[in-house]
C-alpha cells in the first residue's frame, strides 16, 4: 500500500483535516483516508495547537491502524460457501470490483483451488459479477479457470451478466462447454441451483 501526497485540506467542525489518497494492492483501487494524527502532531509541535491535541492524534492513530487492518482483510478471498434449502452453494463473489482486473483474477485463482478440491460433478456455483466490468482482458483467465473446474461443477448460475458481458460469457460457454444460466435476482438463482 502506498500513500500519495496530501491532496487538500478541508475544514470539519472548525478543525482542518488533510485528505491523502492511499493506493491499495490492486491497480486502480484507491481509498480516501482522513489523516489527522500527523496534522495534530505538526500543529502541536509548531505551537499552533495546545499540547492536549497530541491525545487526539494518538486516538486517531489507533483508528488509522484499525482501518489499515480492515483494508487488509478486504484482500482475503470474498467467495464463500452458503446454504440454501439444505444444499451447499459456492458463492463466487466477484461483485463490486468495477474495473479492477487484478482483484478479479486473484479471486478467480482462489476460487479455482476450492472448486477442484471438491468431488467431481458436485459443486453448485453462484457467480456474482454485479458492478464488475468483464472484458476481453479477463477472458483468457476465465477460460483457463472454467476449463480447470468444469468437471467439478454440477450447475452454474451467474448474476450481473448482461449486454457485452453476456456475449463474452456465451463465448466462454462455447470454448469450455460449461453451461451458464443468467439471473438478475440472487434468490431466483439460488432456487434454480438447488432444484433437481
Average pLDDT (12-29) is 44
Query: Structural domain of residue 167, as residue ranges?
Result: 80-194
Shared domain for 38 and 59, answered yes or no, is yes
- Dihedral Cα 136, 175, 77, 31, nearest 10 deg: 10
Nearest residue to 36 (alpha-carbon basis) of 24, 20, 21, 22:
20
Confidence of residue 28 (pLDDT cuts 50, 70, 90): very low
- The last residue of one of the domains, among 74, 90, 114, is 74
Q: Which residue has the higher pLDDT, 65 or 161?
A: 161
- Residue 135 belongs to domain with CATH number: 3.30.750
Alpha carbon 104 to its chain centroid, in Å, reads 8
Residue 73 has a pLDDT of: 47
Residue 42 has a pLDDT of: 67
Residue 43 has a pLDDT of: 66
Q: Cell 468431488, residue? A: 119
Shared domain for 164 and 134, answered yes or no, is yes
Model confidence pLDDT, tens digit, residues 170-188: 887 887 888 889 999 999 9
Average pLDDT score, the chain:
76
Average pLDDT (48-58) is 65
- The last residue of one of the domains, among 74, 107, 127, is 74
Shared domain for 150 and 67, answered yes or no, is no
Shared domain for 54 and 96, answered yes or no, is no
Cell of 30: 484507491
Model confidence pLDDT, tens digit, residues 72-104: 445 578 999 999 999 999 999 999 888 889 999
Shared domain for 92 and 178, answered yes or no, is yes
Q: Which residue has the higher pLDDT, 44 or 152?
A: 152
Shared domain for 124 and 164, answered yes or no, is yes
Model confidence, pTM: 0.61
Shared domain for 105 and 147, answered yes or no, is yes
Domain count, the chain: 2
- φ/ψ of 27, rounded to 5, equals -65, 130
- φ/ψ of 185, rounded to 5, equals -115, 130
Residue 178 has a pLDDT of: 84
Q: At what angle do helices 136-149 and 164-176 cross, to 10 degrees?
A: 40
Residue 39 has a pLDDT of: 62
Shared domain for 36 and 97, answered yes or no, is no
Amino acid at each position: 500500500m502506498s500513500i500519495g501526497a496530501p491532496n487538500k485540506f478541508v475544514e470539519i467542525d472548525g478543525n482542518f483535516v488533510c485528505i491523502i489518497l492511499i493506493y491499495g494492492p490492486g491497480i486502480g483501487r484507491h481509498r480516501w483516508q482522513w489523516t489527522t494524527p500527523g496534522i495534530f502532531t505538526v500543529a502541536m509541535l509548531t505551537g499552533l495547537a495546545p499540547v492536549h491535541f497530541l491525545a487526539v492524534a494518538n486516538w486517531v492513530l489507533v483508528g488509522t491502524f484499525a482501518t489499515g487492518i480492515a483494508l487488509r482483510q478486504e484482500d482475503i478471498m470474498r467467495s464463500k460457501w452458503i446454504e440454501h434449502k439444505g444444499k451447499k452453494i459456492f458463492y463466487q463473489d466477484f461483485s463490486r470490483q468495477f474495473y479492477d482486473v487484478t482483484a478479479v483474477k486473484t479471486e478467480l485463482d482462489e476460487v479455482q483451488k476450492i472448486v477442484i478440491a471438491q468431488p467431481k460433478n458436485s459443486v453448485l456455483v453462484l457467480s456474482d459479477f454485479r458492478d464488475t466490468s468483464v472484458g476481453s482482458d479477463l477472458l483468457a483467465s476465465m477460460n483457463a479457470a472454467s476449463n480447470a473446474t468444469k468437471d467439478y461443477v454440477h450447475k452454474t448460475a451467474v448474476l450481473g451478466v448482461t449486454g457485452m458481458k453476456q456475449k463474452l460469457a456465451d463465448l466462454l460457454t462455447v470454448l469450455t462447454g460449461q453451461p451458464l444460466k443468467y439471473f438478475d435476482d440472487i434468490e431466483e438463482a439460488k432456487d434454480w441451483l438447488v432444484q433437481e
